[in-house]
């Protein structure tokens, strides 16, 4: 939030501190290897936690009296660091539970993360959750009611004077924006849905994948295997400022994931006034923010259901228009500025209670 001074603990090889735009950036050393897996990855993570805690404490001790609150952007490793700093500096701890580690991690890493978040949530004074299902998880598992605040979107990019006209073409364009990482986004299901769509809609359909990631080669191979390689555009990484233009050229925007149905891309799709189709295992676990058949269409993580949902919207413009209208109304309440003001107001209330 503009005007607020925030101390951030981040990762780097050499400890350092810098000032930029009223923000103090602190970079303790960290240990990271792209090839680490399983036990080695867990050890690597524990070393980084210890390093960040030690150097973070050294850097932050001089600010002890001026700090009002400790904010952790995750409930796991960073949350543990925040818990120690809370005990050391005697300041309230605010935790933001973002990506669902309980759904994504496996084996030893999952057990370690579970331990870390148990410590973090028990020591926290205020918890935010970016997804309603995650909020229910925290309440059920730890008996602490978090405040749901979605990731939202940048209103300066998707509103105001910026108005991108959709490109006229002889085909329908389906767009996905995100990392090409099959461990999180099972895009092979979307490719299979594209194969099925060829027999479900009268016009030709093109799938546009925007983003970079480790699994692009695998996705290209899968597209060739399914015989849809000529219908897929791998755009690659684009600047965030250009995303509205790419979305404007889309007829339907898709979010496909192994867990939560929310995220920045969903808010941006809605703000861009595009019908949103979400395919995920959590598709039927939402009762607020996302309303199936009202502001989006949510289906299970199966190619048949995904293809049917996309075909229905392409064939029924009135239904698509209603989804767009309701989605735009939903997104309008969750801009980055709105969320920042809500979050800062709750944090300020917390600090007043702790005085």
Please write the tens of the pLDDT for every residue from 265-300.
999 999 999 999 999 999 999 988 999 999 999 999
Residues of the chain with CATH 3.40.50.2000: 7-150+336-354, 171-332
Average pLDDT over residues 10-24: 66
Select from 91, 103, 98 the least CA-distant residue to 61: 91
CATH number for 7-150+336-354 (one of 3.30.450.20, 3.30.70.2190, 3.40.50.2000, 3.20.20.70): it is 3.40.50.2000
Strand ranges across the sheet with 23-27: 7-9, 23-27, 16-20
Strand ranges across the sheet with 252-256: 232-236, 204-210, 171-177, 252-256, 276-279, 297-299
- What 3-state DSSP class applies to 296? strand
Identify the pLDDT of residue 53: 75
Contact 192, 226 (CB under 8 A): yes
pTM: 0.87
Select from 310, 297, 302 the least CA-distant residue to 251: 310
**pLDDT tops 50 at residue 3:** no
Identify the pLDDT of residue 1: 39
Give CA torsion, residues 331, 337, 342, 343, to 10 deg: 110
Where helices occur in 37-186 by DSSP H, the ranges are 38-60, 77-89, 101-104, 107-123, 132-142
**pLDDT tops 80 at residue 253:** yes
Identify the pLDDT of residue 55: 73
- Across 57-71, 86-100, 245-259, 334-348, least confident range: 57-71
Structure confidence at residue 304 as a pLDDT band (50, 70, 90): very high
Q: What is the CATH topology of the domain spanning 171-332?
A: Rossmann fold (3.40.50)
């Amino acid at each position: 939030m503009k005007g607020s001074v925030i101390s951030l603990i981040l990762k780097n090889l050499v400890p350092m501190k810098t000032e930029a735009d009223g923000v103090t950036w602190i970079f303790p050393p960290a240990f990271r290897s792209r090839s680490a897996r399983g036990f080695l990855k867990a050890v690597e993570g524990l070393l980084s936690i210890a390093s960040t805690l030690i150097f973070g404490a050294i850097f932050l001790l001089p600010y002890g009296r001026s700090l009002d609150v400790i904010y952790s952007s995750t409930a796991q490793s960073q949350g543990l660091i925040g818990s120690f700093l809370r005990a050391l500096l005697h300041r309230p701890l605010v935790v933001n539970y973002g990506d669902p580690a309980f759904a994504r991690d496996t084996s030893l890493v999952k057990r370690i993360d579970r331990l870390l978040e148990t410590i973090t949530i028990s020591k926290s004074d205020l918890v935010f959750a970016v997804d309603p299902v995650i909020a229910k998880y925290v309440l059920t598992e730890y008996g602490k009611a978090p405040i749901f605040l979605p990731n939202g979107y940048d209103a300066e990019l998707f509103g105001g004077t910026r108005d991108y006209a959709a490109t006229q073409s002889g085909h329908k364009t389906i767009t996905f924006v995100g990392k090409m990482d099959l461990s999180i986004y099972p895009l092979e299901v979307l490719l299979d849905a594209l194969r099925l769509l060829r027999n479900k809609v009268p016009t030709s359909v093109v799938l546009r994948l925007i983003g970079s990631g480790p699994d692009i080669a695998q996705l290209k191979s899968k597209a060739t295997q399914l015989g849809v390689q000529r219908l897929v555009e791998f755009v690659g990484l684009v600047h965030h400022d250009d995303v509205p233009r790419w979305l404007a050229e889309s007829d339907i925007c898709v979010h496909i994931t192994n867990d939560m149905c929310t995220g920045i891309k969903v808010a941006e799709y809605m703000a861009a006034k595009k019908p949103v189709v979400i395919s995920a295992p959590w598709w039927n676990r939402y009762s607020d923010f996302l309303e199936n058949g009202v502001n989006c269409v949510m289906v299970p993580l199966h190619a048949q259901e995904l293809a049917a949902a996309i075909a229905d919207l392409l064939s029924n413009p009135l239904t698509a228009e209603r989804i767009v209208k309701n989605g735009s109304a939903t997104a309008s309440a969750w801009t980055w500025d709105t969320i920042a003001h809500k979050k800062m107001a709750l944090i300020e209330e917390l600090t007043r209670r702790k005085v």
